[in-house]
Amino acid sequence: MQSLENEDVIIESVFLDKQENDDYLIYDIKAHSLQKAREVASKSELEIDKYPKKGFKEFCEGRKELQLLADFHLR
């Protein structure tokens, strides 16, 4: 929770999509500023932030961001 607060993140969700012989990681984040969230996360020394950094570097190199089609929320 401290990491999310530092990054000013509202929602963070991670899904594993298994399709036949492939696995896909779908990562969804909503923050007041994605740029700020990325900057803070990249500089974080919190233990909980070390694992995602390693995983993203290893598994998400060259990833492309999905196009947002709709974003509905109350308040």
Domain segments of the chain as ranges:
2-59
Q: At what angle do helices 34-43 and 47-59 cross, to 10 degrees?
A: 110
Strands 9-19 and 22-31: antiparallel
User: What tens-digit pLDDT sequence spans the chain (75 residues)?
Assistant: 888 888 999 998 988 889 999 888 788 889 999 899 888 888 888 888 877 777 666 766 777 778 889 988 887
Residue 75 class from Cβ within 10 Å (0-12 exposed, 13-18 middle, 19+ buried)? exposed
69 φ, ψ to 5°? -100, -35
Task: Record the pTM.
Answer: 0.65
CB 34 within 8 A of CB 68: no
